[in-house]
Amino acid sequence: MSFLSPLFLLGALAAAVPLALHLFHRRTEPVVPFAAMRYLRRTPVEDSRWRRFKELLLLALRVAAALLLALAFARPFLPQAAGALERAATLVLIDTSASLSAPGQLDRLRAIATDVIRSAPVGQSVGVVTFSQGADVIAPLSDDRAGALAAVTKLTLGAGATRYRSAFARAAEQLGNRPGRIVVVTDLQQSGWDAAGEGVLPERVDVELRPVPAPAGNLAVSALTVDSGDAVATIQSYAADGVTTQVAFAIDGHPIGTTPVTVPARGAMDVRVSLDGRQNGALSAAVVDRDGYVADNTRFALLDTNAAPSVLALSASGRDEEVFYLSRALSIGNDADVFRFRAIGSPAFSDLKPDDLATVDVLAILGTRGLDQRGRDLVAAYVRSGGGLLVSAGPQVDPVVVGRVLNGTTHSMMAARNAAPLGFAPDDSRHPVFRVFGGVGTLSSVSFTRSVLLTPGDRAEVIARYSDGSPALVEEQIGDGRVLMFGSDLNHEWNDFPVQPAFVPFVHEALRYLASARLAHREYLVGDLPGNIVPGIVAVGRTESPGAKRPGYPATNPPTPATQPPGTPATRRVAVNVDPREFDPAALTPDAFRAAVGRLRQAGASREAEAATEQADRQRLWQIALAVMVVGLVAEGALGRRLG
């Protein structure tokens, strides 16, 4: 049994009061001289032993009442996992993150772990857990020390970031109710405590730190981008002196150039190589770093041209004049920013299969004429699967049809209203769509002659309003997908917006914002994707798991070829790289680490206290104690009266 407020147990000392009175003030009854003793003498005298027993019972009831009162105030509860006390254990937490990939560090890890296992006190269980982004049990807690040593021998490093909280959470899970110690073998990576998490640390467990020295310096490819037809690699040095090295670029594993570079001490340097017009493939840049971490020596990026957002405009016939201003606006920009735009008529749209929309980042509805039920279902499925949808009002858009399209997908509604001249301004200028305008800016010159009445749903947000206060642009998040509803047209029929300077940036930002959900998922860090994925180019496919609330991204590794085989249109390629925070070999001090462990212990304690409070509230043992105390007091009163 545990207690929420154990200090109240001190109140149990009050039980000493009736005890002391019983022991030291037993003759409390008054002495009365009495004459008619002869009649009193004849009354049946209570058996002294029986009376003694009743007095002891009375004493027990009074003591019990005091104890129960103290017990009730101490808020007792029965811990759920309160089992028999198990043997103490030693759990070795081995850091296998990318920051342990310097030469010699793995051997050092193994040596320390081996030493800890061998020196563990006799009779203690021993287990081994490796951790980086996540934590894996490579040797469960047991008496099998040989097995633990063998697991340490087979130890391999990963490329994930250091996450101490998840490591301690797994360790606590492994230890359960056991007392013992956790021995952390780590390089004390500075970013190890950055990530938020649900780490806990039981109070009965000690933490012992066995640090592994970090390398003196490190060289890393911290970024790899494409700029004006060149591949640009940023080389970061964490060495105290300048470092000269070679940067080797490759596409799909084929070298395209090697560039020497001298990086200043604790500085960075960009290195370029021409792509010679190559627009597809998996680009990589690698440096030679013999002393630093191995995992960050290579970085990957995708050259796929389809990196530009793909926009599919839906109109009545798909003809150019129905989407003229939008298509022209999207064609403006440099190579990197260009949109892949395509228009489609309602009949052709209805013939599409869901997979055909897998590569579409944004679907823009500029006309609903001819959109049948199948087409409407296709739009709804697209949004639910995480696509971006722009719905623009206009003479070609029937609010009723829009309502049917969005029915069950969004609660925002569109309804016709009388024409009236209106202005237009963002409701929140910090919204990504309007951030480029720095406030109202040029949007104030847009003049609307007609508009529809937008009614935002419960979960929708109004991000722009007309001058009469009615919503002009409404956003609603639906699963992974986003919907933007614009209350006027984008084809210069109900407003002069398309001929205003603000139109192009507005359309670009709005569509990029809608596409961002998918575009952002083209580059990942190790650990972002499920599975044991190492840095490189990875093919991910969207699947709908039965019963799953959100689609998952099962990944395959190693990198798949740039050209996907037919029949896998929903599969996308993404680049996976090492978390840049792992590049810096600067380590935490042991004291800082222990302080963080202390905070974790406090957090764990408070979490345990919350859980204990919930348990106490649920079990209501204090109420039972009070009820028993009341019953005891009633019995005490009755017995006390009999005893006088």
Partner 1 sequence: MSAGGPKAGRDGRAGEQRFLDPAVLARLGTLELRARTIVEGFLSGLHRSPFRGFSVEFAEYRQYLPGDDLSTIDWKVYARSDRYYVKKFEEDTNLDCYLLLDVSASMGYGSRPSTMLGAARTAGERRGLSKLEYASMLAASLAYLMNRQRDAVGLTAFDERIVAMLPPSARTGHLHQVLLELERLRLGTGTNVAKPLQVLADGIAKRGMIVLISDLLDDPERVIDGIRPFRFRGTDVIVFHVLDRDELTFPFERATRFRDIEGSEEMMAVPSAVRAHYLAELNRATERFRQEFGSIGIDYRLIDTSEPLESALTAYLATRARTR
Which residues form the interface with partner 1 (CB under 8 A)? 27, 29-46, 641-644
Q: How far is the CB of 642 from partner 1 (least distance, A)?
A: 7
Q: DSSP character for 633?
A: H
Supply 416's token pair: 């016709």
Count of other CB atoms within 10 angstroms of residue 17: 12
Name which of 26 and 353 has its Cβ closer to partner 1. 26
Say which residues have a Cβ less than 8 Å from residue 594's Cβ, sequence separation at least 6: 207, 209
Say which residues have a Cβ less than 8 Å from residue 624's Cβ, sequence separation at least 6: none
Is-contact 476 491, C-beta < 8 A? no
344 strand-pairing partners: 314
Q: How far is the CB of 638 from partner 1 (least distance, A)?
A: 12
Cα–Cα distance list, 302 to 275, 295, 305, 391, 559 (Å) = 12, 19, 9, 31, 11
Q: How far is the CB of 14 from partner 1 (least distance, A)?
A: 24
Q: How far is the CB of 80 from partner 1 (least distance, A)?
A: 49
Name which of 37 and 196 has its Cβ closer to partner 1. 37
**Locate tokens 């193994």: which residue?**
110
Q: How far is the CB of 27 from partner 1 (least distance, A)?
A: 8
**Locate tokens 């139109």: which residue?**
503
Q: How far apart are CA 585 and CA 589, in angstroms?
A: 12
Q: How far is the CB of 39 from partner 1 (least distance, A)?
A: 4
Q: DSSP character for 435?
A: G
Name which of 549 and 641 has its Cβ closer to partner 1. 641
Name which of 607 and 642 has its Cβ closer to partner 1. 642
Q: How far is the CB of 50 from partner 1 (least distance, A)?
A: 12
Q: How far apart are CA 586 and CA 102, in angstroms?
A: 13
Q: How far is the CB of 631 from partner 1 (least distance, A)?
A: 23
Q: How far apart are CA 388 and CA 364, in angstroms?
A: 8
Supply 527's token pair: 């650990």
Q: How far is the CB of 629 from partner 1 (least distance, A)?
A: 24
Q: How far is the CB of 57 from partner 1 (least distance, A)?
A: 15
Name which of 48 and 334 has its Cβ closer to partner 1. 48
DSSP letters, 37-65, are HHHHHTSPPPPHHHHHHHHHHHHHHHHHH
Q: How far is the CB of 58 from partner 1 (least distance, A)?
A: 12
> At 561, is the secondary structure helix, strand, or coil?
coil
Type and span of the H or E element at 342: strand 340-345
Name which of 36 and 520 has its Cβ closer to partner 1. 36
DSSP letters, 364-423, are EE---TT--HHHHHHHHHHHHTT-EEEEE-STT--HHHHHHHHTTT---EEEE-----B-
Name which of 31 and 81 has its Cβ closer to partner 1. 31
Name which of 52 and 594 has its Cβ closer to partner 1. 52
Phi, psi of 306 (to 5 degrees): -75, 15
CB-based burial, 608-630: b 16+ in 10 Å, e otherwise: eeeebeebbeeeebbeebbeebe
233 strand-pairing partners: 224, 271
Name which of 45 and 85 has its Cβ closer to partner 1. 45
Q: How far is the CB of 636 from partner 1 (least distance, A)?
A: 15
Is-contact 71 625, C-beta < 8 A? yes
Helix axes 16-24, 48-73, angle to 10 degrees: 160
Name which of 609 and 638 has its Cβ closer to partner 1. 638
Which strands make up the sheet holding 424-426, listed edge to edge? 340-345, 310-315, 362-365, 388-392, 481-486, 471-478, 460-466, 424-426
Is-contact 252 225, C-beta < 8 A? no
Task: Classify burial at 438, counting beta carbons within 10 Å of its beta carbon; exposed 0-12, middle 13-18, buried 19 or more.
Answer: exposed
Name which of 45 and 84 has its Cβ closer to partner 1. 45
Q: How far is the CB of 628 from partner 1 (least distance, A)?
A: 27
Name which of 395 and 637 has its Cβ closer to partner 1. 637
Length of the chain: 644
Count of other CB atoms within 10 angstroms of residue 336: 11
In sequence order, what E strands does 526-643 have? Answer: 536-541, 555-556, 571-577
Q: How far is the CB of 633 from partner 1 (least distance, A)?
A: 19
Q: How far is the CB of 20 from partner 1 (least distance, A)?
A: 19
Type and span of the H or E element at 150: helix 145-153
